[in-house]
Chain A
Amino acid sequence: MAAPGEAATDLEVIRGKRAALFFAAVAILLGLPLWWKTTETYRAPLPYSQISGLNALQLRLTVRVTVVFTRESVPLDDQEKLPFTVVHEREIPLKYKMKIKCRFQKAYRRALEREEEALSLGSMQEAETMLAEPQEQAEGSLTVYVISENSSLLPQEMMSYIGPERTAVVRGITHREAFHIVGRRVIQVAQAMSLTEDVLAAALADHLPEDKWSSDKRRPLKSSLGYEITFSLLNPDPKSHDVHWDIKGAVRRYVQPFLSALSAAGNFSVDSQILYYAVLGVNPRFDPASSSYYLAAHSLPHVINPVESRLGSSAASLYPVLNFLLYVPELAHSPLYIQDKDGAPVATNAFHSPRWGGIMVYNVDPKGYNGSELPVRVEVDMVRVMEVFLAQLRLLFGIGQPQIPLKCLFSGPKSEGLTIWELDRLLWARSVENVATATTTLTSLAQLLGKISNIVIKDDVASEVYRAVAAVQKAAEELAAGHLASAFIASQEAVTSSERAFFDPSLLHLLYFPDDQKFAIYIPLFLPMAVPILLSLVKIFLETRKSWKKPEKRD
């Protein structure tokens, strides 16, 4: 009777063991993945490898230069080899992880009949208008005409000429090494009109190590889709001065032409305001020698902050604001002059602050006070003011004084105050800057995701990241192909998409969820469930070990 009973008990024991093992298996195979899956933060897949690839991207900027030879510019036997293409490539040495190579792709050709005719005209202006008419040059490209050595188109001592559009003229030479020399001159001119190290260094100023590039490299505004320009007239003393300015006319006459020339670089909006009782933050010092007041150079940084609170942030848009302030000093502090570092008064009586704007001090003509009672009516000379403000505007957009090579004639910009090649140069710089910014943003996002595991990546954020990566790659390709306009548009899209992904509020949804609170919730559930499973596992383990040991003892 005992034997079948024991057999039945053994069966029961084995069944119980199996059930316990099955529980453990279910808990591990089903429960753990389920728990993992339900508490996981959602992360759409991102192109991590491509993003890290962007970091080591090699930017190749191609400038297409068409060199056109007129009949007597170089020896005839040299001309017979035309047309052919020469590539002049060099690396731009910036301490930056992204390698930038600049290549001038020179295509040589012979002048057409019409061009010959134009270049044989008497003056540069006539030649230019005739050359410009039929042809439309692509953005970023240059055309250099090589004229004969003794052409009268240029003054005798000048070797080259840089025009307001994408054309330049170089004097040729009839020499054995003619080709070589002319080639060097062409490169010289092309570099002056196109990419230079300075321009790129200024564009990448934010991404370069601090020590190498001084602060004036950081002067230009950061690239953006649009800019707001605000002209403010500060009248701290309306009791004494009744200031009037014809800002409407000045904007229409001087600012709008400049901005419409710049319109490829972004949208611009202009407005103006008059602020009364707005004072500078610094008390001017009195200079008894000239019985005038002055602001020393070291105190200029303190001038801006108190004024800025009155300027009123631009409520209606998110674009960066450029402020231009015209300050009419109060009667008690006039005339007021700005001194430079050496203590000499600044000729323009103006200064600018990088990425912020400019301030000009406008002193009231002292003759106005004679005989008349306060307030004195002041009419602002807008030509004088706008000269300063437009020069500052150019600087703040990173369009510095052009660096003209020796023995080169520079025609100066047309009536807009901006040459077309300056605009091209700005677009080159902005494209590179945009690509760099987008790359940095994407890299930081990837790093952040690696570091913080609670960040959620939704599908729309992921698609923005993909779009940004594609746009960066497209911009790089277009730059390498020399298509400046489409490269610029692609780079803008890259920046927009990458920033939209980086600053998406959904990234932060689960950021604050500390571990100790998680365990406070899990333990009351997990502990009672885990203890029986663990105990029975331990028991099974002990019994199996005993049953393994028993046969050994018998032996």
Chain B
Amino acid sequence: MAAALPLAVLGLLLLGPGGRGHAEPPRDTLREELVITPLPSGDVAATFQFRTRWDSDLQREEVSHYRLFPKALGQLISKYSLQELHLSFTQGFWRTRYWGPPFLQAPSGAELWVWFQDTVTDVDKSWKELSNVLSGIFCASLNFIDSTNTVTPTASFKPLGLANGTDHSFLRYAVLPREVVCTENLTPWKKLLPCSSKAGLSVLLKADRLFHTSYHSQAVHIRPVCRNARCTSISWELRQTLSVVYDAFVTGQGKKDWSLFRMFSRTLTEPCPLASESRVYVDITGHNQDNETLEVNPPPTTTYQDVTLGTRKTYAVYDLLDAAVINNSRNLNLQLKWRSPPEHGYVHYQPAQDRLQPHLLEMLIQLPANSATKVSIQFERALLKWTEYTPDPNHGFYVSPSVLSALVPSMVAAKPVDWEESPLFRSLYPVSDSSSYFVRLYTEPLLVNLPTPDFSMPYNVICLTCTVVAVCYGSFYNLLTRTFHIEEPSTGGLAKRLANLIRRARGVPPL
């Protein structure tokens, strides 16, 4: 958009009754919510939900006017006659065993499932076009969805909203497990929020922190819902959800404490003026008055108890629309501290960077007597770049040995001796305490077989076939163009002469 010109003259005759109509009360509402749950493993899960409800029947109107509901998605609903749309982008995997059950489930990669309305005639064509458009809106490779990865489930994916019939021929489901989720997917997702990322809970959505997590899942759900209790007409509901899991250990030097600022590098400053509800819930289930195991700061005004996912939970509730919550301190930085002393131990982990540095894992553990301790590390085999393979790649690659340094209690207390005087074999390691001695053990190096490609296969095939063709052709050519003629032997071969010599010796007439 290069040049802009001020509009100088305007002669326009406006016509017709210029009555100004009174604007109707807003027909759409926004609710936003953040749930922070400390997980059993010590990580912290944060789940954002933004729900826009629009009391409008999208299909009926010719000209559509959007307020809180994003135009891009509204146009999709009316153009492709959508009944429901569920799209999620996930990086990482929710470890149910360590983290407990999730609020919102999503598979790794991108998942899209759509119910079309029964007016759609060619569902496959609409599905293809829709996935292409969505791929444009969310900057994702959803355009790779085609008939090879699309299915029509008949039992597991029922409509989540209002539905008249459930004819499964109008359902399409696809997953792209390889889809990598990154900032370019988050930015268009944030743009759909009415308050963008300028106010309210969405201030916390800072990309570089959200992707510095063990789990990141963002989703868009569109479905029709009842407008009122009697369900006389329908409204459209757009839910934008985002869940992240922060590895509190790594960022918090082994402590399980967290604060909003530490997780998001932002604090809440003002509520979104468009939201009719804006709340933060903090899971404080372990919290009871007697022995304070944890402390939330600022102290919550209200708590909320409920049974979710099969367990009774207690949540501290902060309502951002309540002026007192933010006004006291100009901003809200929720903090949670664990009172109980952290377990003794030290873990230092430095992750590897490809082609720059290896992994380093150091653990300081106190082992109980007569026990076996097993430390296992999982790894994945990867293909190297083809120039990085050694000349004998099938031999395998070495992983350097682990080191175990220990202070072992001594059976007999050693006499303290002068360090300089003692024999050299005693004095390599300084001994601070005479009741124990220092040992350093090394494990065997590990030889790992990496998958090796066949480096020369394509050219071999070409050369081999060409050689076969050339050999056949060559002998054929030779056979046809060579001149063969019989040559009379003049004196006979060596064998004949030898035979005649023997014959003469024996007195037999020669041949």
Contact = CB atoms under 8 A, between A and B. Distances in A.
B75 A351 contact: no
B274 A391 contact: no
B102 interface: no
A408 interface: no
Nearest to A415: B15
A251 B4 contact: no
Contacts of B4: 300-301, 303-304, 351-353, 359
A8 B199 CA distance: 105
B6 A351 contact: yes
Chain B interface secondary structure, helix, strand, loop or mixed? Answer: loop
B32 to A, nearest CB: 13
A304 B7 contact: no
Contact of B75 (A315, A375, A379): A315
Contact of B481 (A346, A352, A536): A536
Interface residues of A, number: 93
A158 B485 CA distance: 116
A309 B195 CA distance: 15
Contacts of B136: 313, 315
Contacts of B274: 238, 276
Contacts of A538: none
Given A273-B67, A382-B20, A388 B6 contact: no
Contacts of B22: 246
Interface in A308-351: 308-310, 312-317, 338-341, 346-348, 350-351
Contacts of A340: 6, 8
Interface string B462-501: 1100110110011001101111111000000000000000
Interface in A221-275: 230, 238-239, 244-249, 251-254, 257, 269-274
Given A272-B65, A525-B466, A312 B5 contact: no
A528 interface: yes
A140 interface: no
A251 to B, nearest CB: 6
A19 interface: yes
Contacts of A312: 70-72, 191
A277 B13 contact: no
A29 B117 CA distance: 63
B485 A248 contact: no
A30 interface: no
Tier of interface size on chain B: 35 or more
Most chain-A CB neighbours within 10 Å: which of B14, B16, B19, B470?
B14
B71 A271 contact: yes
A301 B462 contact: no
B266 interface: no
A12 B483 contact: yes
Contact of B23 (A246, A354, A394): A246
Contacts of A300: 4, 6
B11 A524 contact: no
Contact of A251 (B63, B72, B191, B199): B63
Given A278-B196, A301-B4, A350-B7, A9 B485 contact: yes
B279 interface: no
B356 interface: no
Contact of A528 (B191, B466, B480): B466
A248 B16 CA distance: 15
Contacts of A239: 199, 270, 273
B199 A277 contact: yes
Contacts of A163: none
Contacts of B474: 528, 532
A272 B66 contact: yes
Interface string A413-425: 1010100000000
Contact of A277 (B17, B64, B196): B196
B142 to A, nearest CB: 13
Contacts of A532: 474, 477-478, 481
Contact of B480 (A19, A273, A383): A19
B12 A417 contact: yes
Contacts of B482: 16
B367 interface: no
Interface string A282-308: 000000000000000100110111001
A2 B467 CA distance: 41
Nearest to B19: A249
A328 to B, nearest CB: 14
Contacts of B17: 253
A358 interface: yes
Nearest to B14: A387
Given A23-B477, A313-B72, A15 B483 contact: yes
Contacts of A353: 1-5
B20 A246 contact: yes
B3 A529 contact: no
B75 to A, nearest CB: 4
Contacts of A317: 79
B20 A379 contact: yes
Interface of B: 1-23, 63-68, 70-72, 75-76, 78-80, 133, 136-137, 191, 194-196, 198-199, 270, 273-274, 462-463, 466-467, 469-470, 473-474, 477-478, 480-486
The 8 closest A-B pairs by CB, nearest first: A528-B470, A244-B23, A524-B466, A277-B198, A12-B483, A273-B66, A316-B79, A300-B4
Given A238-B274, A340-B8, 18 more contacts: A12-B485, A15-B483, A249-B20, A249-B21, A269-B63, A271-B75, A272-B65, A273-B66, A274-B66, A276-B196, A310-B196, A312-B191, A348-B7, A350-B6, A387-B10, A391-B10, A417-B12, A529-B470
7 contacts: A271-B71, A273-B70, A303-B4, A316-B133, A353-B4, A386-B14, A532-B474
